[in-house]
Amino acid sequence: MKNILITGGAGFIGSHVVRRFVQNYPDYNIYNLDALTYAGNLENIKDIEDLPNYTFIKGDILDADFIDNLFDQHKFDGVLHLAAESHVDRSITDPLAFVKTNVIGTMNLLNAAKKLWNGNFENKLFYHISTDEVYGSLGESGLFTETTSYDPNSPYSASKAASDHFVRAYGETYGLPYVITNCSNNYGPNHFPEKLIPLFINNIIEKKPLPVYGDGNYTRDWLFVEDHAVAIDLVFHKGRNHETYNIGGFNEWKNIDLVKLLCTQMDSKLGRSAGESAKLITYVKDRPGHDLRYAIDASKINTELGWSPSVTFEQGLERTIDWYLSNEAWLKNVTSGNYQKYYEEQYKA
């Protein structure tokens, strides 16, 4: 039996990772630690909550004593660290919250792992899940590789970059076994509707304006979330110690083209006439420090571990839309209350 801690498992990507590990590894005890912030939702993992190898723990990675006690109590062999403040726009209005959770929270986990493992690192691993945004912005060409220099532009990406550096530093200084992955934009079921794709799906359903930042010519590399979970599983089990792996979708889209595709698919799903949802597109003021383009060179994980995305963008987007249309209660629940306040503040003219 292995005791595995997954942080942030009630969030978007974390819930898919928790499900995969709980279902595929009955010999592991999976502990899902999550503070249940606005982005965390136990409904995301309701289907596995009764499985015998799964335990949910509500707690904050900022509470160092609580984290130390947790490691002492459960003697974790492995940590998959996903808990984070994850939305760039929120990092622009409240950067300190990102330093706290993403940097200090990560430090608390590193310190607890170092203390528990105390130099006995055999079959131990600290896996830090990070983002391609740490590399900053690409121009019209080129790809992020594992050796691209860090050049973060938003408070979110700066906080993730800092946490990556601390993980590496604990590896070099104390010998802590670690892997880091830097992934591109995910999409799929359970994505909180503050991010582009789920926000626009929700607005199309409600016939609300679709707020495209700037001229819409920003490019992202999109990956279906379940393919990210497969990559995380592979890296956790087969990744080399003290290595970084980039994960991406080989799937670049300009925001405006993506939004038009989404509108077309939604019109067809909702039985609306062609072109109806595209009329909702509204260009709004740009995000400050907006990175022009992200694109990942995922050849290292592809050649070393045999990973590549299994889902095309059209298939993934259709599965995503279908999920939102058949989970109306989930969407209503997460878009009530504080969400309305956030939305008004973020999108006021």
Enumerate the active-site residues: 132-133, 156
Q: Tell me which residue of 340, 45, 83 sits closest to 190, measured CA to CA.
A: 45
Q: Of 7, 32, 41, 86, which lies in the binding site for ligand DAU, with binding defined by CB under 6 A?
A: 86
Instruction: For residues 120 and 101, give the distance between their C-alpha atoms in angstroms, rounded to a whole number.
Output: 27
Q: How far is 171 from 243, CA to CA, in rounded Å?
A: 10
Contact segment (CB under 6 A) with ligand NAD among 37-45, 111-119, 145-153, 270-278 equals 37-45
**Binding of ligand NAD by 330 (CB under 6 A):** no
The reply on whether position 195 binds ligand DAU by CB under 6 A is yes
| Binding-site partner at residue 10 among ligand DAU, ligand NAD, none, CB < 5 to 8 Å by type | ligand NAD
What does 35 bind: ligand NAD, ligand DAU, none (CB cut-off 5 to 8 Å by kind)?
ligand NAD
Rounded-to-integer distance, Cα 179 and Cα 18, Å:
18
Whether the Cβ atoms of residue 21 and residue 233 lie closer than 8 Å to each other = yes
Q: Which of 10, 162, 231, 259 binds ligand NAD (CB under 6 A)?
A: 10
* Residue 37 found at the interface with ligand NAD (CB under 6 A): yes
Is 294 among the residues that bind ligand DAU (CB under 6 A)? yes
Give the closest residue to 89 by CA, choosing from 234, 16, 242, 194.
Answer: 194
State how far the Cα of 53 lies from the Cα of 39, in Å rounded to an integer: 24
**Stretch in the footprint of ligand DAU (CB under 6 A) among 48-56, 125-133, 245-253, 267-275:** 125-133
Q: Does 181 bind ligand DAU (CB under 6 A)?
A: no
The answer to whether the CB of 246 falls within 8 A of the CB of 301 is: yes
- The interaxial angle of helices 155-174 and 105-117, nearest 10 deg, is 20
The yes or no reply on residue 211 touching ligand DAU (CB under 6 A) is yes
**Contact set with ligand NAD (CB under 6 A):** 7-8, 10-14, 34-37, 39-40, 60-62, 82-86, 101, 105, 129, 131, 160, 183, 185-186, 192
